[in-house]
Each structure stands twice: as structure tokens, then as C-alpha cells.
Amino acid sequence: MTREIVLPSWCSDADLMEMSAQNPEMRFERNADGTLETMSPTGGFSGNRELKAGASLLNWVESQGLGEVFGLSTGFRLKNKAIRSPDAAFVSAERLPQDWETREDQFLDLAPDFIIEIRSSTDSLEKLKRKMQGFTVVKFYSTSNRSWYFTLCGA
């Protein structure tokens, strides 16, 4: 289930990092307009599908030596200042900043080349589509980016 929180002022990257650290059971994302969205933990079925999808992506990327794969706790700062955390994401080696591994306490300042979002039965398809469009519409690199959304059985 997703809940939207409207703050009286802009939530900075540092504020978002601190809230995430203080509330490890929740996932937070910042929209381009400064509103926050919280996501509660998923059920077993969705969590299992997230891990399997991410593992499949990781295996493929590593076998091809293409770049890096990131999990759902990774925040990506998009060009429109939104912070998004897809269930799994791929970034090609040539697009990763050279010092990305040393900036553990900072969001990645780029949109992934490819993302996976798993839709559970409590997720709104329209809201998920809007989130996905944020990745593909907010481009500051090639137009070859792809994102898919999956509807699980019974969703």
C-alpha cells in the first residue's frame, strides 16, 4: 500500500536519507513536486518475485559484464529532482560515476538504463505507470531506455 505525505517545505536529500535511516521498515520516495510517498513492506509473494526478478537481472548483467545492478533500497535522483527506488535497476558501466562506490550516503544522480517494478495486489496500476514514466520521460541520456511493469497473478 502506498501513502502520499505532503510536507510544508521541500524535503532535502539529507532529510530523506535521515528519515529512511530512522524508519528502516519503510521505503520513501520523493516526487518531483516535493511530496513524499511511503511504501510499506510487501507480502511474501511480492517480495519473492522482487528478489527473483532482481537476481535474474543481476545474473544476466554480470554474465555479460555490462555494468551494475541495484536493489530496491537504492535511491536514484532524476533530472526533475524526484528520488525513485525501483525494485531492481541496471546502470551500464560507462554511465556510472567513477566514484559511485565511495558515495554510500548519497543517492545516485542518474536515471537507470533499465528498471523493474513488481506490482502487488495493493498497488494502483495508474500510480505505478506514472512512477515508471518518471524514469522514461525524464531523460538526460539516450532514448533507448526501457522499463517494464509486471502484473502478478491475482493483482
pLDDT tens digits for range 108-140: 999 898 888 887 777 777 777 777 766 654 333
- Specify the number of domains making up the chain: 1
CA atoms 134, 139, 140, 144: torsion sign: positive
pLDDT of residue 9: 61
Domain hosting 142: range is: 44-151
Q: Identify the CATH number of the domain in which residue 124 sits.
A: 3.90.1570.10
Type of residue at 62: E
Q: What is the pLDDT of residues 99-108, one digit of tens each?
A: 888 887 789 9
Residue 75 lies inside a defined structural domain of this protein: yes
Residue 36 lies inside a defined structural domain of this protein: no
Residue 16 lies inside a defined structural domain of this protein: no
**Grid cell of 73 as nine digits:** 533500497
Residue 104 lies inside a defined structural domain of this protein: yes
Residue 52 lies inside a defined structural domain of this protein: yes
Residue 10 lies inside a defined structural domain of this protein: no
d(CA 120, CA 118): 6
Residue 15 lies inside a defined structural domain of this protein: no
Q: What is the pLDDT of residues 47-91, one digit of tens each?
A: 888 899 999 999 999 999 999 999 988 999 988 888 999 999 999
Number of residues that this document lists for the chain: 155
pLDDT of residue 151: 41
Residue 57 lies inside a defined structural domain of this protein: yes
Residue 44 pLDDT > 70, yes or no? yes
Contacts of 134 (CB under 8 A, 6+ apart): 32, 78, 80, 82, 84
Contacts of 54 (CB under 8 A, 6+ apart): 69, 71, 72, 87, 88, 116
